[in-house]
Amino acid sequence: SIQSVVIVTTGVLSASIIRRAVQLGLQVSVGTAEQEPLVGGDKYSVAWLEMSWKNSRWPQAFLRSLARLPYTAVTRPLVPDLTNQSGLLIDINHATPLTASLIAELIPSDEYWLLGAPETGHWRIRQIGTLTDASTLIQLPQQPSVTSHATFTEMPAPEIHLRLTSSPPLPGFPDALLLDEKECGWLKEIIMGRPEAETTYLIPGQNHSLLIAPGGLTST
């Protein structure tokens, strides 16, 4: 079974991915890398996340939801130990066209080759700097502590009456959209290669993800 993955994504998406992974109890190391098409092309700065877990059961639903995010590749290393990699990263949903060990022999020592899905493509990646433990970069909410001297006075809770009403949409674009897993897959196909992919934020959740953007969403 898979014990670790390497996730290559945009800096915008990496923050929400890290926070959710830490909440799930996963070990995450984060760094930066430079990415360019394997056959040559423009270079891009990306976030590099190494994610592992101690349980024998891997977080399949969480990782597959991440794989549906735009400009995000969730890969398994050829060598499970992230400290001794061969340099070959393979998309978790796909297999290599050739024997993985044969491809690994072609990879220079200072770079990684990412074999992605058809819509993602294949990439040459070089890490920049060292990795940092992601748990030191974020602070999860702490449960309030109760001292032994605290006293409580029981008071009746006030009644709150709620009812649902329908209302016409306001003019302009919506502030956010709640998407299920199927709709997230559609979103990845729609905005891949468009400017909206860099300006929108997709916040992963348990069964749904929230799509937001500064100033509201565009017509896309």
User: Which helix (H) or strand (E) segment is 185 a member of?
Assistant: helix 181-191
Q: Distances from the Cα of 38 to the Cαs of 42, 90, 112, 121, in angstroms?
A: 10, 14, 10, 8
| Distance in angstroms (rounded) separating the CA atoms of residues 107 and 119 | 22
- What are the pLDDT digits (tens) for 103-158? 777 888 889 989 887 777 889 999 998 999 988 877 655 655 555 555 555 666 66
Does 209 have pLDDT greater than 50? yes
Task: Quote the tokens at residue 100.
Answer: 């993985």
Q: Pick the more confident residue, 137 or 32.
A: 32
* Residues contacting 207, CB < 8 A, separation 6+: 180, 181
Domain ranges of the chain: 4-136, 176-212
The pTM of this model reads 0.61
Q: Please give the distance of CA 113 from its chain centroid, rounded to a whole number.
A: 19
- What are the pLDDT digits (tens) for 58-114? 888 899 889 888 889 999 876 544 444 568 888 888 877 666 667 777 888 889 989
| Distance in angstroms (rounded) separating the CA atoms of residues 115 and 196 | 25
| Distance in angstroms (rounded) separating the CA atoms of residues 137 and 143 | 19
Does 216 have pLDDT greater than 90? no
Give all strands (DSSP E) within the chain, no chain letters.
4-9, 27-37, 44-52, 73-77, 88-91, 112-115, 122-133, 176-180, 201-204, 208-212
